[in-house]
Amino acid sequence: MSGEHASSTVAVRVRRLEERLVAAGVVGDDQLDAILTKLLNGASPVNGARVTARAWTDPGFKERLLADANTALPELGLSMTGGIQEQRLKVVENTTEVHNVLVCTLCSCYPIGLLGPSPSWYKSEAYRSRVVRDPRSVLAEFGLELPDDVTVTVWDSSAESRYMVLPRRPDGTDGLGEEELARLVTREGLIGTAAV
């Protein structure tokens, strides 16, 4: 199945679900539009970059973020409430020993509010199936070569749970403030397909 065909199939299924929800009186078209507008208005990788920069500069925030991200996010005016219910967010930290990468093998579940709309490759069947089986090769295709002694952990999102990678802070950035650090963070770094 090609990526374009898969995307159109998903779009048709989503529209059918929307139509059934409207027909059953569960939600109206206006409500669906309002939910999507609210979700996408603030959706940006800038949010994930802000979270990362705060974690790099505030050890207490980092500890709270890694322990319970849903509780820590409101400290920056953010949340995982994207429409009807809150999604559970787990932030996983890259270290010198462990590198994390995200995927959603079933579809393309993803923390849109923190990372912005997902890239097309994240939704592709090729990425979703291959990164689980051979993450090092997939990361190498993105230009990220990891030493053999670094363990690669793949985190699979679901409808209820999302993940965000806390990238390693780059060397030589000790004198930078939060805003400057946030500008170094990329969406790919927050997914784990790139280093920062």
Residues with active-site annotation: 104, 107-109
> CA 181, CA 163: separation in Å to the nearest integer?
21
Distance from the Cα of residue 19 to its chain's centroid = 28
Residue (of 143, 163, 161) closest to 153 by Cα position: 163
Contacts of 144 (CB under 8 A, 6+ apart): 193, 194, 195
- How many residues are present in the chain? 196
